[in-house]
A = this chain, B = another copy of it.
């Protein structure tokens, strides 16, 4: 080998405090918007219609928050997690300035924690990844930690450093610049329920299921230019732990969010992901279901009286309807703690 191709970093290749600029800046636009809908089934009005968004004072429809998440995350994969044994978790995921058609994003990651595992064969790397647009405005920050192999078991390990991570994310005030909800139309939004209508402890079964195909999850993951090998290479994975390709956990997040439209239709922006775990792997052929518990009702940033935030726990399962709200067992795919924004009060007039 000539050394020109990159096998990916191992645990001992990271040092605390370093910042890595990721390759492949990316413009997003109508193509990504349509593909995101086509691959996930998302139906949120704000991201589906420029006219609806302009009616609320925005310059156009923002791109889906999770699309932005996957794009920023995807930039970091070749540098951070190509040799990951496991993606252990997310925290402090804060959405900021909305992304519009034509915006170009770049991403970089700072190493905020390193801890060798007791086996000395692997270690955990914590990074904070930031996505910015072409004006240098932050669109997203996220923290994640992954378990990486060491290239050489005998290599010296840095002193352990584990970052303190917030239990929940403070919402960013640049989430909703210019948003005017006075003309919000819940008939078009798709739901009769505003912030006032939800109560802590309430549980919502999102009812529908979506079966995952190899082609769908691979196409979505390539759209994000996420190169993690376990999603794409059946020739290698047939010898791997599961004998087959694993669905990118972010695709499960997107499908669960799309399913959650049925019950949370007016939750038009994700403000934060407080924490998340991919509990079990998802494979092609699995059918994803989801349910949500309202964990808390929060004030939105900027003391606005027209909208509110909900802290939610959404659980996605495989091949297991959620009418009885399952939270444990091998059928659980995802356990996501996140915060959404929605109008405080809505009144639907379906019939005219």
Contact = CB atoms under 8 A, between A and B. Distances in A.
Interface of A: 1-2, 4-7, 18-27, 29-35, 37-41, 43-45, 48-52, 61, 78-79, 101-102, 104, 106, 108, 134, 187-191, 193, 197-198, 202-211, 213-216, 218-220, 222-223, 225, 227, 229, 232-236, 245, 262-265, 285, 287, 289, 319, 321, 323, 349-352
The secondary structure that dominates the A interface is: mixed
Given A1-B204, A351-B18, A233 B287 contact: yes
Contacts of A215: 213-216, 219
A41 B222 contact: yes
A210 B350 CA distance: 40
A179 to B, nearest CB: 17
17 contacts: A1-B203, A1-B204, A4-B191, A4-B204, A4-B263, A5-B204, A5-B206, A7-B207, A23-B43, A27-B49, A27-B50, A29-B31, A34-B34, A39-B222, A213-B214, A215-B216, A234-B287
Given A23-B190, A24-B188, A31-B30, A48 B225 contact: yes
Task: Please indicate which of the listed interface residues A198, A216, A321 has the most CB atoms of chain B within 10 Å of its own CB.
Answer: A216
Contact of A218 (B30, B198, B216): B216
Report, nearest first, the 6 A-B pairs whose CB atoms are least far apart.
A31-B34, A23-B190, A51-B104, A235-B287, A5-B263, A215-B215
Given A211-B233, A211-B235, A213-B213, 13 more contacts: A2-B202, A4-B264, A21-B349, A21-B352, A24-B48, A30-B34, A38-B219, A41-B225, A48-B225, A51-B104, A210-B233, A235-B289, A235-B321
